[in-house]
Amino acid sequence: MARRYEYQVCSVQSARVTWVNGSWVGSVTPDSGDHDAALKSCPTVWDYLQSAGYDGWELASTSAYQTTENSYEVMYLRRER
C-alpha cells in the first residue's frame, strides 16, 4: 500500500516562519505598518519545528532563494495521513 502524506510549505524570513500554506502565522499582520513587529510576532524556525514535530510533521526538504531585494528560505514538511 502506498503511503499518503500531507504537506506544509513554510516561508522563512530572518530565521522566523512567516507563512504556512499561504497563511500568515504571526500575531501581528504584515499589513500593520510595522514590519519589524510583524516579523517578530512569528515563531522562530526552531520553535516552529519543535511544535510541528510534536504534531507528527517532519522536515522533508529546504530551499533558499535570493532576489535583488531580499533572501528567504522555504521549508517543506510532511506527515503521514
- Residue 20: inside a domain: yes
Structural domain total, the chain: 1
Residue 69 lies in a domain: no
Is residue 32 included in any domain, yes or no?
A: yes
Q: Give a yes or no: residue 71 inside a domain.
A: no
Q: Is residue 65 part of a domain?
A: no
**Grid cell listed for 72:** 528567504
User: Which residue range is the domain that position 43 belongs to?
Assistant: 5-60
Confidence of residue 1 (pLDDT cuts 50, 70, 90): confident
pLDDT digits (tens, 9 = 90+) for 4-60: 999 999 999 999 999 999 999 999 999 999 999 999 999 999 999 999 999 999 999
Q: Does residue 49 belong to any structural domain of this protein?
A: yes
The C-alpha atoms of residue 33 and residue 22 are separated, in whole angstroms, by 20
**Cell 522536515 found at:** 59
